[in-house]
C-alpha cells in the first residue's frame, strides 16, 4: 500500500517534521526531504488532532495523520508541562544506565547481606526471612495507607489492560487499576517496551505495577527501582499467570508449588519498597490440588498488604467455573490481610452476591468481565443493569481511539498501534449480549449463545465473531486500513489442559 511504501521508503526525521534543524545533519538515518515525504504520505484521517485538542501542540508535526488540523506555525497554544497526562516515564538516560549496569540497588544488597548472614548463623527462618534487624528497618518505610476493602479493582491484563483501556474503566468508576504484567528482568535490562507498561495516567487514583519473575533478587531490584523512580501505590507480585512463556520459566502460577521461594520473594520486595506489596495467585497448579488456603496465612507474615485469588488453577486457565466457595474458605484463613476474589464476574448481581450475600471476599478483581463490558463498574456502583446502546458503545470505542492516539501517537505507527489494540479489545467486546434482548439476566461469563440479530445493523455488526467485521468497526473510527492489513487476536483465553 501507499502507506506501507511511505513507512519503508521515506521516513521523515522527527526534527524536520516539526520545523526544526536536525543536529545530526547528513548523519541522520531519517529523511529531511519534506516534499518527497508529503508526496508519498497518505491522506489525513480526520478533521481534528487529539494532541492539538488536548495540549495545543502536536509533537509529530508533518508526520501526524491529522496534520491538516494543525494551526499555522506560531499559533500553537501549548499547555504547560504539568498538564502532561502520564507519569512514570523514566526516560532514555535511565534505560541506558540500566543496560550498562550503572544503577545501584542498596536496599536489595542490604537485604541479601542480612539474609545470608542470619541464614549462616541459624537465626533466619528460611520461609519468613530475616528477623529483628530487617523488620525494624522495614517498619520505617511508608506503606499501609490504602484501605482496599470494598473497592472495585480492574485486573492487570496483558496486552488489553493498556493505559487507554484503563482510562475507559476509570470513566466508568473503577477504584483500583494496575499496569500490565511487566517482566522484572526486562525492566532491569532497560527495555523500553517493558518500561512503557508502567506508565500511569493522572486519573488513576490508586495505581500499582505488576511484576513477574522467578528470582527473589531480580524482583527485589525491580521493586526497589520502581518504588524510588515511579509514582505507585503498590507493587503486585504475579503468581497467577498461566501462560507457558511465563510459567515454564518458573514464574507466574508455577511459583505456587514453591512456598519457600515465594516467601523470599515477598519478603525481599517488602523490605526494599516504600509502597505496599500485594500478591495475585490462583488456587494451585493442578485443578484438584488447591494450595492457596495454605499460602494465605503466610502472606500475612511475609508482609503482603492484599491477596487476590483467582478461583481457578493454572491447569484450568480460564475454563470451567471459578471456585468461589473455595475463595470463601481462603478468606476465612486470612485474619489480617484483605482477600479479594476473582473469576467470571461480569454483572452487579454476581458482584454483590459474592461480596455481601455469600461474604466470600473483601473485594473483587474483575478482568475479562470488564473487557466484555467495562461499564460493569458503573452497574456495580448503581446496582442496576445498563442497557447500553450500540451507538453508546461505538462512542466508547471512539474515546478509546482518542486515548490511544494520545498515548501511542498520531503518526502512522501510532495509528497502527491504536487500531491493533482496539481490535484486541474487540475480540472480547463482541461477546457482550445487549441486556434488552436477553431472555434471562444477567449474562454469564461462560455462556456461549448462538448468533443473534441485534436491534439495528450496528448492534448486529458488533456481535460478530469475525475479525473482518471488527476491522470494519475500526475503519469507522480510524479510517481505512492499508491494503495488506491483517489481524489475528493474541489472546486464547479458553485453552485447557486435560
Any idea which residues carry the catalytic annotation?
Answer: 241
How deeply is 451 buried, as exposed, middle or buried, from its count of CB atoms within 10 A (0-12, 13-18, 19+)? exposed
Indicate the helix (H) or strand (E) that contains 86: strand 86-87
Angle subtended at Cα 347 by Cα 341 and Cα 350, rounded to the nearest 5 degrees: 50
- The string over 22-35, giving b where at least 16 C-beta atoms fall within 10 Å of a residue's C-beta and e elsewhere, is eeeeeeeebebeee
Please give the grid coordinates belonging to residue 325.
466457595
Q: CB of 16 within 8 A of CB of 22?
A: yes
Eight-class DSSP state of 31: B
Eight-class DSSP state of 205: S
Length of the chain in terms of residues written = 498
Instruction: Please enumerate in sequence order all residues whose Cβ is within 8 A of that of 297, keeping only pairs 6 or more positions apart, or say none.
Output: 333, 334, 335
What count of other Cβ atoms lies within 10 Å of the Cβ of residue 5?
12
Q: CB of 240 within 8 A of CB of 253?
A: yes
Number of helices (H), then strands (E), belonging to the chain: the values are 22, 11
Eight-class DSSP state of 142: -
Provide the 3-class DSSP secondary structure of residue 87: strand
User: What number of CA atoms fall less than 13 Å from residue 391's CA on the CB side?
Assistant: 2
d(CA 154, CA 380): 13
d(CA 52, CA 57): 5
d(CA 15, CA 21): 6
SS3 for 337-352, per residue?
CCEEEECCCCCHHHHH
C-alpha closest to that of 249 among 260, 238, 234, 235: 238
d(CA 101, CA 112): 18
Instruction: Please enumerate in sequence order all residues whose Cβ is within 8 A of that of 267, keeping only pairs 6 or more positions apart, or say none.
Output: 111, 128, 129, 130, 134, 216, 302, 303
Please measure the distance between the N-terminal and C-terminal CA atoms of the chain and give it in whole angstroms: 45
Amino acid at each position: 500500500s501507499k502507506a506501507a511504501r511511505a513507512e519503508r521508503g521515506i521516513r521523515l526525521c522527527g526534527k524536520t517534521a516539526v520545523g526544526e534543524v536536525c543536529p545530526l545533519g547528513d548523519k541522520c538515518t531519517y529523511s529531511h526531504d519534506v516534499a518527497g515525504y508529503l508526496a508519498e504520505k497518505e491522506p489525513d484521517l480526520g478533521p481534528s488532532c487529539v494532541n492539538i485538542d488536548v495540549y495545543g501542540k502536536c509533537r509529530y508535526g508533518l508526520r501526524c495523520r491529522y496534520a491538516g488540523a494543525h494551526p499555522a506555525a506560531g499559533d500553537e497554544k501549548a499547555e504547560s508541562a504539568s498538564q502532561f497526562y502520564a507519569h512514570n516515564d523514566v526516560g532514555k538516560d535511565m534505560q541506558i544506565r540500566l543496560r550498562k549496569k550503572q544503577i545501584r540497588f542498596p536496599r536489595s544488597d542490604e537485604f541479601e547481606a542480612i539474609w545470608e548472614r542470619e541464614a549462616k548463623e541459624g537465626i533466619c527462618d528460611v520461609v519468613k526471612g530475616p528477623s529483628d534487624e530487617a523488620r525494624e528497618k522495614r517498619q520505617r518505610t511508608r506503606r499501609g495507607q490504602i484501605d482496599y476493602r470494598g473497592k472495585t479493582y480492574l485486573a492487570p491484563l496483558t496486552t488489553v489492560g493498556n493505559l487507554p483501556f484503563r482510562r475507559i474503566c476509570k470513566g466508568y468508576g473503577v477504584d483500583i487499576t494496575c499496569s500490565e504484567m511487566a517482566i522484572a528482568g526486562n525492566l532491569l535490562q532497560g527495555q523500553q517496551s517493558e518500561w512503557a507498561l508502567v506508565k500511569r495516567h493522572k486519573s488513576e487514583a490508586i495505581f500499582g505495577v505488576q511484576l513477574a519473575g522467578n528470582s527473589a533478587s531480580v524482583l527485589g531490584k525491580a521493586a526497589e527501582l520502581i518504588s524510588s523512580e515511579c509514582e505507585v501505590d503498590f507493587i503486585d507480585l504475579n503468581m497467577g499467570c498461566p501462560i507457558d512463556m511465563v510459567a515454564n520459566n518458573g514464574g507466574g502460577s508455577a511459583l505456587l508449588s514453591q512456598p519457600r521461594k515465594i516467601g523470599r520473594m515477598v519478603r525481599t520486595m517488602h523490605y526494599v519498597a516504600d509502597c505496599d506489596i500485594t500478591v495475585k495467585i490462583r488456587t494451585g497448579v493442578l485443578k484438584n490440588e488447591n494450595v492457596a488456603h495454605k499460602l494465605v496465612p503466610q502472606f500475612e507474615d511475609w508482609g503482603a498488604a492484599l491477596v487476590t485469588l483467582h478461583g481457578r488453577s493454572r491447569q484450568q486457565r480460564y475454563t470451567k467455573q471459578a471456585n468461589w466457595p473455595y475463595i470463601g474458605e481462603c478468606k476465612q484463613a486470612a485474619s489480617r490481610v484483605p482477600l479479594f476474589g476473582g473469576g467470571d464476574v461480569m454483572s452487579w448481581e454476581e458482584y454483590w452476591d459474592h461480596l455481601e450475600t455469600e461474604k466470600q471476599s473483601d473485594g473483587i478483581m474483575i478482568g475479562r468481565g470488564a473487557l466484555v463490558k467495562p461499564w460493569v463498574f458503573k452497574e456495580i456502583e448503581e446496582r442496576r443493569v445498563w442497557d447500553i446502546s450500540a451507538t453508546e458503545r461505538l462512542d466508547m470505542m471512539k474515546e478509546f481511539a482518542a486515548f490511544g492516539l494520545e498515548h501511542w501517537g498520531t503518526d502512522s505507527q501510532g495509528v497502527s498501534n491504536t487500531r491493533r489494540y482496539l481490535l484486541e479489545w474487540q475480540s472480547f467486546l463482541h461477546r457482550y449480549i445487549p441486556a434488552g434482548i436477553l431472555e434471562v439476566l444477567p449474562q454469564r461469563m461462560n455462556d456461549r449463545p448462538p448468533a443473534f440479530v441485534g436491534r439495528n445493523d450496528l448492534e448486529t455488526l458488533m456481535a460478530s465473531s469475525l475479525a473482518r467485521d471488527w476491522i470494519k468497526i475500526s475503519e469507522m473510527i480510524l479510517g481505512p486500513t492499508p491494503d495488506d492489513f491483517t489481524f489475528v487476536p493474541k489472546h486464547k483465553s479458553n485453552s485447557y489442559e486435560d
